[in-house]
Amino acid sequence: MLGRKIDVLNRGQIPIYEPGLAELVARNVAEGRLHFTTDLAAAAKQSRLVFLGVGTPPGKDGKADLSALWGVVDQLAPHLRDDAIVICKSTVPVGTNAKTAARLKELTGRDIDVASNPEFLKEGVAIDDFMKPDRVVVGARRQEVIDVLQELYQPYLRTDKPFLAMSPESAEMTKYAANSLLSTKISFINEIANLCEHAGADINDIRRGIGHDSRIGFAFLFPGAGYGGSCFPKDVRALAALAREYGVEPRMLNAVHTVNENQKTVLIQKIERHFAGKLSDKAIAIWGLAFKPGTDDIREAPALVLIDRLLAAKATVRVFDPEAMQNVRAIYGDRLVYCQRRDDALRGVDALAICTEWKQFVHPDFEEMRHVMRQPIIFDGRNLYNPQRMRVAGFTYYSIGRPDVK
Ligand SMILES: NC(=O)c1ccc[n+]([C@@H]2O[C@H](COP(=O)([O-])OP(=O)(O)OC[C@H]3O[C@@H](n4cnc5c(N)ncnc54)[C@H](O)[C@@H]3O)[C@@H](O)[C@H]2O)c1
């Protein structure tokens, strides 16, 4: 598996979709600064700094599964140089740095420096985030290690952005706190949006009404069909699991997760309500499968919950996503109709559901859409359109936290 990925990279291809990454990798390979290998011993011998970026997916009870991390630590240990610094970029529970150092001591008999350097980039704009970070956080126990990493990151921190040195435990906790707070903002605005639907208020007005308060701001306060991806869901659960291990009840984190699980079902609830629960003779189009625009990542994507529920109700499901189709096909095989173009997905459908706010969904030709759809009904999980305009365009239009248009 790993060997196959490395072969792909060595052929100059990138196994994931991330804007700009292929060009960046190709340039650095061509100029001899970057190469890929499965020869851990040779790579470790040449390297003072060894970064670990393996996956830490949710395991049992939401705890982070660290098996890939321990696998790589064990493989690496015999090959590490005396002056090596092992730097953990994976998001890991508090205490993992200390356990890594202890494991390396056990395996090598040496005190190998281990630093914690959480990654804050966003998929879809990963390169920009990496090159222009808001801050770099490094947790280490020795000043020399901090100095080496500060020198490494200095070219990316030439403006006023800070390099924040702290203990490894604080660095590990910082990453979980950041993702948990961002998830909290999303679940909060989703809960208010759901309330707006009952109260006859419009979440877009509320969003603006609170966002202009400089203490609140606008970021991560867009309502939608729930957050997904490889980080927020797993990190909220992992921090909650960590709290429980300490005997602390993670009330906020539990609520953030529960609200989000429910939010992933709001589109199917609206669809079922509209069609009075009878979907077996309905065809539904889905635009957007990736958990957010700019990526082909479908891990924990809200679209998957919708697909599962539609298939369980025996609906025909026609899907389109600019990048994530292959990943979805790998899960659902021939149970879905895969459409190569956005508008092909609409042919003969009783409704369109929108799960990801890709730019190409923002200004469709509504006139044309009404012609190809069997019924002009849209369930918009990302609030892309103006409800009044949808009324004029002749659509029945459901969105999140705003008045329905029928
Ligand atoms: N994806 C993000 O946006 C993001 C952002 C910040 C932090 N993180 C954190 O970074 C870590 C990785 O996330 P990801 O989304 O890239 O995960 P991923 O599962 O997409 O990638 C992990 C990679 O590690 C490789 N790997 C596994 N075992 C290995 C081994 N023994 N030796 C070498 N390689 C091995 C896998 O082949 C895979 O390519 C996670 O801890 C995640 O929480 C991710």
Query: How far are the Cα atoms of 294, 322, 332, 373 from residue 290, in angstroms, in the given order?
Result: 8, 9, 14, 23
Catalytic residue among 196, 231, 339, 355: 231
The predicted pLDDT at position 159 comes to: 83
Contact 59, 23 (CB under 8 A): no
Based on the number of CB atoms within 10 Å of its own CB, is 290 exposed (0-12), middle (13-18) or buried (19 or more)?
A: buried
Q: Ligand 1: distance of its center to the CA of 56 in Å?
A: 7
179 Cβ closer than 6 Å to some ligand 1 atom:
no
pLDDT recorded at residue 11: 84
User: Which pair of structure tokens corresponds to residue 237?
Assistant: 């659960």
Residue 68 CA to ligand 1 center (angstroms) comes to 9
The β-bridge relationship of strands 85-88 and 396-398 is unpaired
- What is the sign of the dihedral through the CA atoms of 194, 382, 120 and 46? positive
The atom number, within ligand 1, closest to the CA of 234 reads 43
Tokens 């090596």 belong to residue: 84
pLDDT digits (tens, 9 = 90+) for 209-264: 999 999 999 999 999 999 999 999 999 999 999 999 999 999 999 999 999 999 99
* Atom nearest to 15 CA in ligand 1: 39
Phi, psi (deg, nearest 5) at residue 221: -120, 35
C-beta of 44 in contact with ligand 1 (< 6 A)? no
Active-site residue 339, yes or no? no
Q: Which segments of the chain have a pLDDT < 50? A: none
Whole-angstrom Cα distance, residue 113 to residue 98? 10
Residue pair 114/101 in contact by the 8 Å Cβ criterion: yes
Nearest CA to ligand 1 atom 2: 123
Question: How far is the centre of ligand 1, averaged over its atoms, from the C-alpha of 91 (Å)?
Answer: 9
> Rounded distance, CA 327 to CA 307, Å?
14
pLDDT of residue 1: 67
Contact 116, 88 (CB under 8 A): yes
Quote the CA–CA distance of 13 and 402 in Å, as a whole number. Answer: 43
Ligand 1 atom with the smallest distance to the CA of 91 is: 41
Q: What would the pLDDT profile of 124-180 be if each residue is shown by its tens digit?
A: 999 999 999 999 999 999 999 999 999 999 999 988 899 999 999 999 999 999 999
Identify the pLDDT of residue 10: 86
Nearest CA to ligand 1 atom 23: 54
Q: Rounded CA gap, 318 and 348, in Å?
A: 10
